[in-house]
A and B are shown apart, each in its own frame.
Chain A
Amino acid sequence: MDLSQAYSSMWADIAAALPLVIVSLAGLVVVVFDAYRNRHAATPLITLAALVLAFAVEIPALSADGTAFHGMLRIGGAAAFVNLLILGSGILTVMLAMPYLKRLDMHIGEVYSMVLFATAGMLMLGAANHLVTIFVGLETMSVCLYILTGLVRKNQGAIESALKYFLLGAFSTGFFLYGMALLYGATGTMSLSDMQVAAGSGSVMFWAGVALLLVGFLFKVSAVPFHMWTPDVYQGAPTPLVGFMSTASKAAAFAALITVLVLALPPERWTGVLAVFAVITMVIGNVLALSQSNVKRMLAYSSIAHAGYILVALAAGTPEGYSGALFYLLVYTVMNIGAFGVMSQLEWDDAQGSTQSLDSLAGVGYRRPLLGWTMVFFMFSLAGFPPLAGFLGKWAVFAPAIDADLVWLAITGVLASAVSAYYYLRVLVVFFMKSARDGEPGTAAGEAFVIPTMTRGVLIFCTALLVVLGVTTFAWDLTGTFFG
């Protein structure tokens, strides 16, 4: 292509990808602003404003359909849905993080610029239509997340987990790049929309490339056995940001994976592979969650298990499966941000909750009813109880597997999620049915602070949304329109 052509469509492309532009620019603004007005109260508000603006701009794009920047990005439809999901997750995260960091007296402006840059990376990843944009988005997102993990360094754990995350992430990125190279070698194109035709039925080189590419994705969504960084990182990172990492980054990675599956791959071979990884992810994630005594670690394993449920839907390889996966990502985002939001308010040991055990939470549901009762909703929804959204979400991911004759896979999923009820409900047992022992740190010191209004708002909003998504199907119906 010649440059004049590129410039001629530039303004239209920028308009189509406006949320990405807004978020990127806001990130730059925050960096500069923070450099001159360190610890200024306006920093988080600028961030929030940028995210809300981007969210508002993206809403009309839901009904659009097309590409921008010469086929590098997809616009509208599923991409818009995922973008909204990422931006929504970002908004809720900033609203949770703002009072949280204030309470810890950690006014770090870089947190907000990193959230913005990570969001920009995710937006690019979620809307990518080309292997290069996938890679750029993936790396932008990942590098920001490595930094975010270690940024709030009140203790050693944060830095340690950031380093682990970085090393292992770099390792998996190597495989991912290698896979890209093989795919390019096998097909001669990096554009996802051209790859399916170019691949034909696929050479060995092609399928090896697919396998290595999948490694990168499975690492990002923390599927077993690429999951081992997850518990350490989730435990060490600041709690509200864990909510962000565990939801938005997975949504972006899954969206890119779905794009690859739908556009680039011939429809065979990979379903069985995904089914195998779905099974081991669900089983091992759930089984390991059983024996955790730290709630954040338990939630980390639970997020591994949930990635397994989504892989079930993808393994079905049908339009219903993809739309079910997108719906599940929405539900999962709402309940996970809520759960981590509650946990972020229950940290009264000095290590920001990284040593926070179940025992120290005994009876907290009665002492802090708002946290207790919203946690009831989040846990029941995570466990998949009707009428909450978690139930409908599980339906949306398991039903396509049954329709695709993967009954054994769906049964494994249902059994695995039956196991999950144990550890989710155990949290509630501790919250409500145990009484605090004397001398627990929580009863004396940490509980005195008032829950910030903004946090209350986020928790109540998430709870209400779980009920709404559980009893109405509008969001599910919406995802159903994306895949043909």
Chain B
Amino acid sequence: MDSASLIYAILLFPLAGAAINGLLGLFMPSWRKQERLIGILGTAMVALPFAAFVVLFLSFDGNASITRFFTWMAAGDLTIDFAYRIDQLSLLMGLVVTGVGSLIHVYSIGYMHGDDGFWRFFAYLNLFIFMMLNLILGDNLVVLFLGWEGVGLCSYLLIGFWYRNLANSAAANKAFIMNRVGDFAFLVAMFILFREVGALDMSSLIAAGSSMDPTMLSLAVFLLFMGATGKSAQIPLFTWLPDAMAGPTPVSALIHAATMVTSGLYLLARLSPLVLLAPGVMTLIAIVGATTALVAATIAITQNDIKKVLAYSTVSQLGYMFVATGVGAFYVAIFHVMTHAFFKGCLFLGSGSVIHGMHHVEHELAHDGHGHKLDPQDMRTMGGLKQFMPATRMTFLISTLAIAGIPLLAGFFSKDEILFKAFEAASFGFPAAWFVWGVGLMTALLTAIYMIRAYVLTFEGSPRWPHADTLHPHESPASMTVPLWVLAGLSVVGGFLGIPAVIAHGDLNWIHHWLAGDHGPVAERLFDGHVALAMEWALIALGSGVAIVGVTLGWRWYTRQGLAFDDALASRFGGLWKLFQGKYFVDEAYDKAIVRPIIGGARYVFAPFDKYVVDGLVNGTAFLTRALSFVLKYFQTGLVPSYAVGIVFGVVLIVWLMLF
């Protein structure tokens, strides 16, 4: 098959899956019972595109190719095609999205078993994949934006999947509305770029970058970054992501860890030649990223809900990626996107497996009539799960060590590269990067600690749920553990795609060559000098040391003292701990500063304005028109002489108009 038909297949399979499962489920209640069929269909519609990506990847000749399907819209100078770009970046992202996506679809067959909305879930997931593929393959910003909004919609639908619980709907609304803020910035950025460049396809934009007015370019890049902070949950728009954990856990893994939340990074990497021309904004990106990483990590350490820990960890890791973007190492950001998709996907799926097991315990407890209530996501009532769920435990441990940055696991390579790039930037003329580098190191330590805390509280020690002696959770079915093992395996080996420059002068750094090589689509900031080789080794040793120290300390503290250590920390740090636990009270501040004034304004200013002024004008116009109609009706007497008078009047009018 040629690449055009492969791209057709890649895009249309998930769309068809969504349509089939969605429409049949909607109109044929009997279809909803066919879990096996729905699951297989849904998974195949993602696995087939993955296979197509593999074919494209293997036959890729190093040149970007653009496939135009048809013109979407044309108005004046603006022509938007449904055009899709295959290059190194979109291939890599496509492989990650459909690969991890397929695994999570398989996992969902087990996880969502027995849910009333099984068909709906798979329809949404397939639709999400379709939209995500539009986002990463689209050759112009408008198609990209279509995907961008589409994944936002699917995210909304899936966060609120269990919509009968009002809290879930509220979380969905929060995610959607916060994303709108970022989307608005993205839109304005598009308007500016169109005004400056006159086109919105990637090649034209990138080619026009150097001739653009630098102020406008910086403004556009800044607004794109604002859009990215919404989608990728950075300060100031990060508070929706932890709430988004209200959705089913496979959703958290797929959308809120592996794929959608990284689309902001993708956007900046895609337009990296433009971003590089706005160094001021890049500094801002690096600082925002580093700050977000630290803030989220400090919150993560205080959370007791296993998914919340992972959610804040995601925000923190996304902060790392923005650091990489900010220091001009776009390919490293994408590298971390990829490794993060492996280990964070695995962690989320592992937590899902744990929740699945604890749900069983909760169910049994409720059944006994002991009156015990159990939150299946609360780590305080877990513990000792390693004896009941060995596969889950092993994969969770592997990915925990990977995210902590234990050497030779995936997270080690990508995180170390980010820190190294920050150090390099700091050494060669970007002093702000010192701050970024320092914060990054501190965050790395915190990451190791909170992750090992989550692991220990969940799997080590002895069970803490009621009647633990008689009630046991069970290991999850193979449909769930197999994807876990695959992702764990990738978390081990995934890092070797980016072997650092200390070895063989970077010749073995595949991802660098692939993305940022001679023909690669991703730009990078080049520096005047090189960090000395010994220094590089020292930095690697420092990074590894931090990870190992963090893991060791966390292990020691939490295996020995367990939950009591949290209390010790709380009393030691006092107010600071309260600040972390309260998530820096950002939600509360937003509520006071933005939400309430807007609601108040709506209620007391805009609603009356709408009711009395706008409606008054509208109703007044309608009233006047009807009144006019009523008056004019009286000229229609039904008598021929009055009609003739009308004609004479018309004759006078027309002769007068014509002659004078």
Contact = CB atoms under 8 A, between A and B. Distances in A.
SS class of chain A's interface: helix, strand, loop or mixed?
Answer: helix
Interface in A199-226: 204, 207-208, 210-212, 214-215, 218-219, 224-226
7 contacts: A168-B643, A171-B644, A226-B650, A228-B635, A272-B657, A288-B629, A290-B629
Interface of B: 625-626, 628-630, 632-633, 635-636, 638, 640, 642-644, 646-647, 649-651, 653-655, 657-659
Contacts of B654: 211, 214-215, 218, 273, 277
Contact of A288 (B632, B653, B659): B632
A385 interface: no
B644 A291 contact: no
A276 B644 CA distance: 20
Interface residue tally on A, bucketed by range:
35 or more
Most chain-B Cβ atoms within 10 A of its Cβ — which of A163, A215, A231?
A215
Contacts of A277: 654
A287 B625 contact: yes
B651 A212 contact: yes
A352 to B, nearest CB: 18
A284 interface: yes
Interface in A252-297: 269-270, 272-273, 276-277, 284, 287-288, 290-291
B633 A288 contact: yes
A39 interface: no
A207 B640 contact: no
A210 B640 contact: no
Nearest to B633: A291
Contact of B650 (A204, A215, A229): A215
A172 interface: yes
A175 B657 CA distance: 16
Contacts of B659: 204, 207-208, 211
B651 A219 contact: no
A241 B647 CA distance: 25
Contact of B632 (A214, A218, A284): A284
A419 interface: yes
B658 A211 contact: yes
B175 to A, nearest CB: 34
Given A164-B640, A168-B647, A277-B654, 11 more contacts: A163-B640, A168-B644, A171-B644, A208-B658, A211-B657, A215-B651, A231-B636, A232-B638, A290-B625, A290-B629, A291-B626
A167 interface: yes
B658 A228 contact: no
A272 B658 CA distance: 9
Most chain-A Cβ atoms within 10 A of its Cβ — which of B640, B649, B653?
B640
Contact of B640 (A167, A211, A219, A224): A167
A270 B658 contact: yes
Given A211-B655, A272-B657, A225 B650 contact: yes
Nearest to B630: A291
A215 to B, nearest CB: 5
A163 B642 CA distance: 15
A204 to B, nearest CB: 6
B632 A287 contact: yes
Contacts, number: 82
Interface in A445-481: none
Nearest to A219: B647
A450 B462 CA distance: 82
Contacts of A167: 640, 644
Contacts of A231: 636
Contacts of B657: 211, 272-273, 276
A224 B647 CA distance: 9
Contacts of B633: 288, 291
B278 to A, nearest CB: 41
Contacts of A291: 626, 629-630, 633
Interface in A159-208: 163-164, 167-168, 171-172, 175, 204, 207-208
A212 B632 CA distance: 26
Contacts of A224: 650
A226 B646 contact: yes
Nearest to B632: A288
A161 to B, nearest CB: 10
Contacts of B646: 225-226, 228
Contacts of A215: 647, 650-651, 654
A19 to B, nearest CB: 33
Contacts of A270: 658
A164 B606 CA distance: 55
Contacts of A175: 647, 651
A172 B651 CA distance: 10
Contacts of A290: 625-626, 629
A462 B251 CA distance: 50
Contact of A228 (B643, B653, B655): B643
Contacts of B628: 287
Contacts of B655: 208, 211-212
Contacts of B643: 164, 168, 228-229
Contacts of A212: 651, 655
B657 to A, nearest CB: 5
Contacts of A229: 643
B642 to A, nearest CB: 8
Contacts of B630: 291
Nearest to A164: B640
B658 to A, nearest CB: 4
A225 B629 contact: no
A201 B644 CA distance: 32
B640 A168 contact: yes
A120 to B, nearest CB: 27
A208 B654 CA distance: 9
A438 B643 CA distance: 39
Interface string A365-409: 000000000000000000000000000000000000000000000
B184 to A, nearest CB: 28
Nearest to B659: A207
> What are the 3 tightest A-B residue pairs by CB atom distance, in nearest-first order?
A211-B658, A228-B643, A291-B629
A273 B660 CA distance: 11
Nearest to B658: A211
A134 to B, nearest CB: 18
